[in-house]
Amino acid sequence: MPSKPTKTKKDAAKPTGSAQSVPPRPNWPPISPVLPAADLSLATLLADQVLTISQLWTTSLCKTYVNFLSTLPLTTTPGKPKRGEAVRVNDRFQVDDPIFAERLWSSTALKEIVENPVIDGEALNERQKRELWGGEALGLNSNIRVYRYSKGQYFDQHYDDSNNISFPSTSSQSAVPAKTTWTLLLYLSSPATGCKGGETIFHPEAPSKREAAPPPIVAELEVGMALLHRHGKDCLLHEGREVTEGEKWIIRSDLCVKR
């Protein structure tokens, strides 16, 4: 059983600072075709911690995107992480794109599912909803990350940080103070596209020092599946397992709530 590292490794995926070159917003393909919310559901992989939505993106949309994302200037992460950062060995593209984040939220079933969550067949009331998402859900973080893992690449055990951000407001000029509470991972690859390995593994903590830690939770890759997991102070230790064949593509953002 993997023990909690003494030093908390962090996901280094912070927005790119001004010192680095800022890539232009990509000319993303339309987010279509997609299935309506009525055809999809929120499933629990680990209660209150890890939730999934199968087929949030259709297989054909994922295919279009993998072809498109392959044309982006991805950069391979340096092998040696900064002190306190997790080892992430993959190729990455990161961009601040509020328009794409909004499309990813509103033109898929994600907004409707997050705003009207049904867990184990039960619709959550307003209080339960706020508790689940950590506040009033606003949409997705404009910090969009694209990861490609090829054979031998992986993301070592780490925790994802919560970040305070300024969320662009649709109704008025002023932005809303917000924070990120859940990580969103959108999987574009799976064994069906030739990718082996690459599962996202969560390591729940032991309930007490005298008890054994529960077994790890494995999120198997599934084309078009979205995975949401709680982050910040409630984040579980997790990792992207090594890819042993083919390529694993994911798009990452975060759920934002009012601060």
Ligand X SMILES: O=C(O)CCC(=O)C(=O)O
Note whether 239 binds Fe ion by CB under 5 A.
Answer: no
- Please tell me the count of residues contacting ligand X according to CB under 6 A: 12
Nearer CB in complex with ligand X: 108/200 = 200
Window 137-196: residues binding ligand X (CB under 6 A) = 147, 155, 160, 183, 185
> What is the three-state SS of 181-219?
EEEEEEECCCHHHCCEECCEEEECCCCCCCCCCCCCEEE
Window 6-25: residues binding ligand X (CB under 6 A) = 11, 13
Compute the distance between CA of residue 141 and CA of residue 231 in angstroms, rounded to an integer: 13
Q: How far is the CB of 33 from ligand X (least distance, A)?
A: 25
Partners of 123 in beta bridges: 118
Note whether 160 binds Fe ion by CB under 5 A.
Answer: yes
CA distance readout (Å), 259 to 75, 110, 136, 234: 33, 21, 8, 17
Note whether 161 binds Fe ion by CB under 5 A.
Answer: no
Note whether 64 binds ligand X by CB under 6 A.
Answer: no
Among 11, 97, 161, 199, binds Fe ion (CB under 5 A): 11
Report CA dihedral (103, 109, 113, 118) to the nearest 10 degrees: -170
Nearer CB in complex with ligand X: 146/176 = 146
Which partner, Fe ion, ligand X, none, binds residue 240 by CB below 5 to 8 Å per kind? ligand X
Note whether 200 binds ligand X by CB under 6 A.
Answer: yes
Dihedral sign, Cα of residue 209, residue 210, residue 216, residue 217? negative
Residue at shortest CB range from ligand X: 240
CA distance readout (Å), 82 to 11, 78, 246: 11, 10, 28
Q: In degrees rounded to 5, what are phi and psi of residue 159? A: -120, 145
Binding site for Fe ion (CB under 5 A): 11, 160
Binding site for ligand X (CB under 6 A): 11, 13, 147, 155, 160, 183, 185, 200, 238, 240, 250, 252
